[in-house]
Amino acid sequence: MLISFYTQVLKMTVTSPFPNITEYNYVYDEDTSPCNDGNGSGRFKSLFLPIIYCLVFVFCLVGNALVLWVLLTSKKVITMTDVCLLNLAVSDLLFVFPLPFQAHYASEEWIFGNGACKIMAGIYYIGFYSSIFFITLMSIDRYIAIVHAVYAIRARTATCGIIISVILWTMAGLASIPNMMFNQEVEIEQFLECVPIYPPGKETWRFFSQFEVNVLGLLIPLSILIYCYSQILKNLKSCKNRNKIKAIKLIFIIVVVFFLFWAPFNIVLFLDSLQSLHIINDCETSQRLALALQLTESISFIHCCLNPVIYAFVGERFKGDGGKLVLDFDFHSFKNCRNSSKFMV
């Protein structure tokens, strides 16, 4: 998890007195933390995080598993939207897969071994990046469908969606490598921890990882979302269909929800990076940042529970046999809009 990865950063120091033998001692990086984090973040971690993790895991599992079930059993995956929803559901499931392990870790210690420590970090970050990538792709897809309707006929196919999905999964995997590489199980004060460990000379990887989350996890996606949906809104102004208000509300919800759930965590993570660079360097702020990092990340987890509701269950065509819910919001029902086209979103 980002919490354990960023709030308990360690460094390795050489302790062997012999010139040809190197031993490493793992200690808290006091250069990047001006004081002890205090008891506030520790109590929050041990008391509330396990409950939050378990609740998020259950709701996200149920919601996204239902999306997968409907997609794979009730309708064919034939459009770009279908491919995006399928991949988004898989991404969210990967994102929350480590949460049961983290729930135990938050309440006691890491007992699952060094291999699991690296694997869980890799799974988490792949799910994290891929989820945001596919949310961004869905925004671009809707933008093309409504603003560039003629081009959309050729571009918005399942084949095109599969090719782009492979590229995005590859990007998510590459972005996750640094976190998987440096995360290790280590004993600290007789407790086993799963934390990132940066050898001497490689501390810049910590800043790279944090700024990578800021840039790939918020700045670029949010900019794309704002641009795409602002262009969609301009296009819908000329629409005289009764569904116009419904579409505008959904667009507003998508952008606002994404910002509300991810911006606080990214802001706190950025401030934590400033602390590591000694730009912020006082004890009280350090304690508040440690608690804020845990709290805001916990809030961001809820977003993956809302994705099935926002992107799948708000539309008009997830209904089918057995009272199934809707898959796609009917942006394409605006027959009075540009080119009188029937858009698939």
Which tens digits make up the pLDDT trace of 41-60?
A: 566 677 888 999 999 999 99
| Span 135-159, average pLDDT | 84
CA pair distance 306, 204, nearest whole angstrom: 35
Which tens digits make up the pLDDT trace of 110-122?
A: 999 999 999 999 9
* pLDDT band, very low/low/confident/very high, at 96 (cuts 50, 70, 90): very high
Edge-to-edge strands of the sheet including 24-28?
Answer: 24-28, 10-14, 191-198, 183-188
Q: Give the pLDDT of residue 240.
A: 63
Q: Is residue 180 part of a domain?
A: yes
* Structural domain count of the chain: 1
Q: Which of 23, 32, 22, 2 is nearest to 195 (CA)?
A: 2
| Span 52-75, average pLDDT | 89
Q: Give the pLDDT of residue 130.
A: 96
Q: Which residue has the higher pLDDT, 12 or 265?
A: 265
* Model pTM score: 0.81
Q: Is residue 345 part of a domain?
A: no
Q: Give the pLDDT of residue 321.
A: 34
Q: How far apart are the first and last CA of the chain?
A: 33
CA pair distance 269, 300, nearest whole angstrom: 12
Q: What is the CB-side half-sphere exposure of residue 171 using CA atoms within 13 A?
A: 16
Q: Give the pLDDT of residue 145.
A: 85
Mean pLDDT in the chain? 78
Domain of 295, CATH number, reads 1.20.1070.10
CA pair distance 239, 167, nearest whole angstrom: 35
pLDDT at 272 over 90: no
Domain that holds residue 139: 2-340
User: Which residue shows structure tokens 């995080």?
Assistant: 49
Q: Is residue 233 part of a domain?
A: yes
Share of the chain above pLDDT 90, in %: 32
